[in-house]
Amino acid sequence: ADVGLRNDLFLTVPRGQATKLRGTVTLTPDLVAPIPAATAVGELQVILDDTVIARRPLHPLKDVERGGIWRRAIDSVWLWFE
């Protein structure tokens, strides 16, 4: 499922420093559906040089419904190999 921020993120950085911004995404492993869109499933960190200047939770862009029996069977097999 696609994830993103629930609201826009605005940052002010010193002039000429925007090219030094970088983002890292950490997602919660082994999530099991159903997952409501309001549930945080990870975190975005925005880093300037070596300093984290913003942290925001990541959410599914829409509700993740429970899969059908076939999808759940395939996912169960994949969990054995992780």
pLDDT (tens digit per residue) in 21-76: 999 999 998 888 899 999 999 999 999 999 999 999 999 999 988 766 766 666 66
Task: Report the candidate in 66, 68, 56, 73 with the shortest Cα–Cα distance to residue 6.
Answer: 56
Q: Look at residue 65 in the predicted model and tell me its pLDDT.
A: 82
Tokens of 76: 């169960």
Task: Report the candidate in 65, 66, 64, 61 with the shortest Cα–Cα distance to residue 3.
Answer: 61
Residue 22: enclosing H or E segment and its boundaries? strand 21-27
- Which residues are within 8 A (CB) of 41 and not within 5 positions of it... i.e. 6 or more apart? 3, 27, 28, 31, 35, 58, 59, 60
pTM for this prediction: 0.76
